């Protein structure tokens, strides 16, 4: 399927805060919400077609955790016979667990690599794992600099900060981008993810794509930059920024919003610096190209975009699932839940959670693919 830009833009312009869900499953009996899950609208039983019963296990991306709180609350309220358990262990760990046959599917902020697809054939009997995009959203760069309420940075400066080449907030490069700010003589405390993370993968794709002269490392789920400090998960790095003077890190916008952490505006080369918002992430997603084949819907984002208002540090969260060879005992409930999440009601439940919408034709393709799982 080839995506036509005109169709993408039109689809993204409607319901800018509606989201197609990230298909990971949050713990049914765990703490109710973490960072805004209760903001989703309640689902009526008639909105959800319950199929199957028992326990669904999944794990992976922590980027979709806040979305999952709302979805699972709604779905579990309608489908009493299904227990949903999702562990936000990070994209890398989620894929590993899925490839070991321990989960029904995994959440990942990066599409599968060729070797992972090959390994999946041992789990997906007669088939293979595919990527289903379900949630889009901006990766915010949050900071904690006393007295600085507005901050502009560009890709080269961010690359140098996260590679320990710029170490103080009153550095000349930062001053040049913020001539009106009162930047303190304060050490920069750059935090990165300690776990294998699709958020890290996407953030470093941006650094490599937009500042190749300053970021020499290949994009990866595992952090490769020099120096800095580490914390686990999006919740971990955002918490460190919240409590540490001079801190800076990267995490999904919902974590910045729920923790009241200010975020960096990006100088992309457009006329005005671009803020991390759902609408601006949608403009970047509108430039994505489908690179997956057949039922695999992996997308390629343009991290070096200079389009007006397009926020380039944007990720798409995928559900990793077998196209064929799914376990008979979990397949009906898996299809039921994913159909709800990818449908209108699943999207509408997330209007206030800070996730960006995906093109309407992609959402339709996801629903069609979920229906064909076997």
Helix, strand or coil for residue 267? strand
Assess whether 113 and 151 both reside in one domain: no
Residue 323 belongs to a domain: yes
Residue 229 and residue 325 share a domain: no
**CATH number for position 126:** 3.40.190.10
**Residue after which a domain boundary falls, among 281, 309, 325:** 281
Residue ending a domain, among 281, 308, 338, is 281
Among 66-75, 219-228, 230-239, 362-371, the minimum mean pLDDT is found in 66-75
Average pLDDT of the chain is 86
Give me the mean pLDDT over the 207-235 stretch. 95
Give the model's pLDDT for residue 136: 85
Q: What is the pLDDT of residue 154?
A: 98
pLDDT higher for 115 or 36?
115
The mean pLDDT value for 24-49 works out to 42
Same domain membership, residue 365 and residue 245: no
pTM of the model: 0.74
Q: What CA–CA distance (Å, rounded) separates 130 from 185? A: 49
Residues 202 and 82 in one domain: no
pLDDT of residue 25: 32
Burial of 209 (0-12, 13-18, 19+ CB in 10 A): middle
Give per-residue pLDDT as tens, 231-271: 999 999 999 999 999 999 999 898 998 999 999 999 999 99
Same domain? 34 vs 54: yes
**Can you give the pLDDT at residue 66?**
78
Q: Is position 295 within any domain?
A: no
Q: Is residue 364 part of a domain?
A: yes
* Contact assessment for residue 299 and residue 331, using Cβ atoms and an 8 Å cutoff: no
pLDDT tens digit string along 138-196? Answer: 999 999 999 999 999 999 999 999 999 999 999 999 999 999 999 999 999 999 999 98
Q: Inform me whether the pLDDT recorded for 16 exceeds 80.
A: no
pLDDT of 41 strictly over 80: no
Split at pLDDT 50, 70, 90, the class of 79 is: very high
Is residue 180 situated within a structural domain? yes
Q: Which of 230, 262, 281 is the last residue of a domain?
A: 281
**What pLDDT shows up at residue 340?**
87
Domain that holds residue 26: 5-138+317-372
Same domain for 330 and 234: no
pLDDT band at residue 350 using 50, 70 and 90 as cut-offs: low
Q: Are residues 79 and 144 in the same domain?
A: no
The CA–CA distances, whole Å, from 277 to 63, 100, 191, 198, 314 equal 15, 37, 22, 19, 10
Indicate if 227 and 323 belong to the same structural domain: no
The total number of structural domains in the chain stands at: 2
* pLDDT at position 28: 29
Q: pLDDT value at position 46?
A: 53
The residues, ordered by sequence, that sit 6+ positions from 255 with a Cβ below 8 Å of its Cβ are 35, 66, 140, 142, 234, 235, 238, 261
> Which tens digits make up the pLDDT trace of 354-365?
787 676 777 788
The verdict on 247 and 163 lying in the same domain is yes
- Write out pLDDT tens, residues 277-307: 988 998 888 788 889 998 999 998 888 899 9
Output the pLDDT for position 7: 41
Q: What pLDDT, on a 0 to 100 scale, did the predictor assign at position 36? A: 35
Q: For residue 244, give both structure tokens.
A: 């540490």
More confident residue, 174 or 10: 174
Q: What is the pLDDT of residue 116?
A: 97
- Mean pLDDT, residues 341-366: 76
Residue 123 lies in a domain: yes
* Residue 123 sits in the same domain as residue 143: no
- 113-134 mean pLDDT: 96
Is pLDDT above 70 for 9? no
């Amino acid at each position: 399927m080839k995506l036509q830009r005109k169709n993408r833009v039109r689809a993204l312009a409607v319901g800018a805060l509606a989201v197609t869900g990230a298909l990971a499953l949050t713990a049914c009996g765990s703490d109710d919400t973490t960072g805004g899950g209760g903001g989703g609208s309640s689902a009526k039983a008639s909105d959800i077609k319950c199929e199957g019963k028992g326990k669904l296990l999944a794990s992976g991306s922590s980027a979709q955790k806040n979305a999952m709180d709302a979805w699972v609350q709604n779905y579990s309220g309608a489908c009493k016979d299904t227990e949903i358990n999702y562990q936000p262990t990070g994209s890398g760990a989620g894929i590993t667990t899925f490839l070991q046959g321990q989960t029904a599917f995994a959440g990942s902020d990066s599409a599968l690599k060729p070797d992972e697809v090959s390994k999946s054939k041992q789990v997906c009997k007669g088939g293979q794992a595919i990527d289903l995009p379900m949630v889009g959203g901006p990766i915010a760069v949050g900071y904690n600099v006393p007295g600085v309420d507005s901050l502009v940075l560009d890709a080269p400066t961010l690359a140098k900060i996260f590679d320990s080449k710029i170490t103080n907030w009153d550095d000349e490069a930062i001053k040049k981008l913020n001539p009106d700010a009162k930047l303190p003589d304060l050490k920069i405390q750059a935090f990165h993810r300690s776990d294998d993370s699709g958020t890290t993968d996407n953030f470093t794709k941006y650094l490599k794509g937009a500042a190749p002269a300053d970021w020499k490392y290949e994009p990866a789920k595992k952090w490769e930059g020099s120096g800095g400090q580490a914390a686990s998960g999006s919740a971990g790095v955002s918490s460190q920024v919240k409590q540490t003077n001079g801190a800076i890190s990267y995490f999904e916008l919902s974590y910045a919003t729920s923790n009241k952490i200010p975020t960096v505006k990006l100088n992309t080369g457009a006329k005005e610096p671009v803020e991390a918002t759902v609408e601006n992430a949608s403009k970047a997603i509108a430039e994505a190209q489908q690179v997956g084949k057949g039922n695999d819907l992996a997308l390629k984002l343009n991290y070096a975009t200079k389009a007006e208002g397009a926020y380039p540090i944007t990720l798409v969260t995928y559900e990793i699932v077998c196209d064929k060879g799914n376990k008979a005992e979990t397949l009906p409930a898996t299809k039921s839940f994913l159909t709800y999440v990818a449908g209108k009601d699943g999207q509408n439940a997330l209007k206030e959670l800070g996730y960006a919408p995906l093109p309407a034709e992609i959402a339709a393709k996801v629903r069609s693919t979920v229906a064909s799982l076997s």
